[in-house]
């Protein structure tokens, strides 16, 4: 017989420690969001005390956030010199889209094969770009929805991280997409939705792969003209 602890016997985390953990996560998310939105620019030098003042916290959670972000290749830690927001590398950007072109078709195929009907119907929300909604946010939400619809949460989390890092590439060259007609991209999303809802796994994977590869070519071509890209 397997003994299971009752709820009352489970170890409890003191409220103070919970607050500390929440603070650490909140600061990590805030710094990460500022990097991905280019509010902390590629190549910019940052210091713990400056960021601590920016987020109105002590230096400890800032230091932990920066060390976590180093593992995501968003920050470089220089001993005794501080930190630098990583510049965007064309080779790294190409690697990012190559990973997306492998993982996202797999998610779409899985969604077409096994997602329940309610999840598939929920994709209809992405058949049009809502008025006054930022296209980048809409695009992120669409690709994240497809990733999660596949049902493999580990893969979905990885895909979502790649999508968020892709946004940084777009925002670096935001001038190149301002005023652009996004109807063609939305139409590609609709084609993906159609294939998944019709449970055509092979077609869904193919369309997603082509969609991601086209996006990669556009963004890499645009980045190659930027002075802050190495």
The secondary structure of 129-180 as a DSSP string is --TT--HHHHHHHHHHHHHHHTS-HHHHHHHHHHHHHHHHHHHHTGGGTTT-
- Give mean pLDDT, residues 187-215: 97
Residues contacting residue 164 through CB under 8 Å, at least 6 positions apart: 36, 140
Q: Which residues pair with 84 in a beta bridge?
A: 45, 76
Report the predicted TM-score, pTM, of the whole model to 2 decimal places: 0.77
Domain ranges of the chain: 13-85, 90-223
Cα–Cα distance between 10 and 59 in angstroms, integer?
A: 33
Residues composing the chain: 230
Residues contacting residue 129 through CB under 8 Å, at least 6 positions apart: 135, 138, 182, 186
pLDDT band, very low/low/confident/very high, at 229 (cuts 50, 70, 90): low
pLDDT band, very low/low/confident/very high, at 19 (cuts 50, 70, 90): low
pLDDT band, very low/low/confident/very high, at 180 (cuts 50, 70, 90): low
> Please, are residues 150 and 204 in contact by the beta-carbon 8 Å criterion?
no
Phi, psi for 182 (deg, rounded to 5): -95, 5
Cα–Cα distance between 83 and 203 in angstroms, integer?
A: 45
Fold classified for 90-223:
1.20.120
| pLDDT of res. 1 | 43
Is the CATH code 2.60.40.1220 the one for domain 13-85?
no
pLDDT digits (tens, 9 = 90+) for 95-119: 999 999 999 999 999 999 999 999 9
């Amino acid at each position: 017989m397997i003994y299971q602890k009752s709820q009352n016997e489970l170890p409890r985390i003191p409220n103070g420690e919970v607050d500390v953990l929440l603070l650490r996560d909140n600061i990590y998310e805030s710094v990460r969001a500022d990097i991905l939105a280019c509010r902390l620019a590629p190549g910019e030098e940052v210091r713990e005390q400056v960021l601590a003042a920016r987020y109105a916290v002590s230096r400890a959670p800032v230091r932990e956030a920066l060390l976590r972000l180093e593992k995501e290749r968003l920050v470089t830690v220089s001993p005794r010199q501080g930190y630098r927001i990583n510049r965007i590398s064309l080779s790294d950007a190409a690697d990012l889209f190559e990973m997306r072109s492998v993982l996202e078709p797999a998610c779409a195929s899985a969604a077409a094969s096994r997602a329940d009907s309610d999840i598939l119907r929920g994709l209809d929300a992405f058949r049009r770009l809502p008025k006054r909604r930022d296209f980048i946010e809409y695009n992120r939400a669409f690709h994240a929805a497809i990733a999660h619809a596949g049902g493999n949460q580990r893969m979905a989390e990885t895909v979502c991280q790649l999508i968020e890092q892709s946004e940084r590439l777009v925002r670096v060259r935001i001038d190149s997409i301002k005023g652009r007609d996004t109807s063609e991209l939305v139409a590609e999303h609709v084609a993906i939705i159609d294939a998944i809802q019709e449970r055509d796994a092979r077609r869904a994977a193919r369309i997603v792969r082509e969609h991601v590869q086209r996006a990669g070519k556009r963004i890499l071509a645009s980045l190659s003209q930027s002075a802050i890209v190495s």
